[in-house]
Amino acid sequence: MARFSDHGDGFGRPARRGVLAASVVGTLRLVVGGRAAAQFVGDAPTSSAPSLGAAGLQRYRVGLRVVAQGGRCRDIYATLPVPADWPEQTARIVDEDTTSDVRRLRFRDTPGAARQMIVEISDLAAGAEARAVLTYELERSAILAPEQTAGLKLPARTERTLRGFLAPSPYIESRHPAIVRLAREVTAGRDGWAKVEAIYDTVRERVEYRNGDLKGAARALADGWGDCEELTCLFIAMARASGVPSRTVWVEGHCYPEFYLVDTLGDGHWFPCQAAGSRAFGSMPDLLPILQKGDNFRDPDRPGQSLRYLSEFIRGSAVGGGGSPKVIWVREGA
């Protein structure tokens, strides 16, 4: 019995902004009231905290279709990222389209980072198609910048949950000499909000937005150009080199960074910024579906690997050595 294993492209190389993103945003409906004017969940009202702006409702379909080509397939096991709740997003399943071949459908959470759907198919006859597709209703809010930024500063102590956001990640070379040197140069004499904003402006000045192959922060700085991933990587690398916890936010067809500062009460807040595109520092006008946050994941199905993004994954067995699955990953506006 032959084994097969593969993973989808996922955001190993994400779809470009304006392709998949357009299909999702096209279904957006603005919401009046509701969560739109509320503070971030769990935050006490303070002028130094980010707040939620206008919200929109959209439907988003995610899942997979598997066809057993050339013969029978067994023990198919697949995982894929799905939307989860965040302070600026609520995710609710409103429809489930599964065939009888699907033995089990469940979820696995990486706390504070991502949610995966796990699909198990015991036996799939030659030529048969199994399907597991969920439709989500997402309420996504814009994020408004804080009214007061003077009191925001770097955390005095690094909590355990933040340590990973100060270390290097795949393509985020925060200890690269050129990145460390530039970060020190542009942040000299600055602290808190002004320190991070200096990094933000430097990245946007030094790196021209241009599509290309994934190359990471150091190459983007050396070449002077890159796309949304490179600008995000370089911002995060420079921020981490300066002691500012930072992470990648993965949305449909795009990504952007978030950075962490503490207010005068000692409460910490994550602030977004648009590394590529129109200037938005400490705020985020986009309402694209959030898929995960982070850039150095460990997946139990891929032991020993540091993953920049929790992409799709599938494995199984071909009976008699002749079968192989054709997998269609579904990720689209509904």
Token digits of residue 311: 């992409």
Q: pTM higher than 0.85 for the full model? A: yes
Average pLDDT (164-177) is 97
Q: Where in the chain is the domain with CATH 3.10.620.30?
A: 156-293
Mean pLDDT of the 304-313 span? 94
**Band of residue 225 on the pLDDT scale cut at 50, 70, 90:** very high
Please tell us whether the domain made up of 156-293 is placed in CATH 3.10.620.30: yes
pLDDT value for 46: 67
pLDDT, one tens digit per residue, over 14-47 is 444 333 333 344 455 655 444 433 345 444 456 8
Average pLDDT taken over every residue of the chain: 88
**Percent of the residues in the chain that have a pLDDT greater than 70, as a whole number:** 85
- Report the b/e string of 79-99 with b at 16+ CB within 10 A: bbbbbbebbbbbbeeeeeeee
Which two tokens mark 212? 């290309």
Whether the Cβ atoms of residue 138 and residue 90 lie closer than 8 Å to each other:
yes
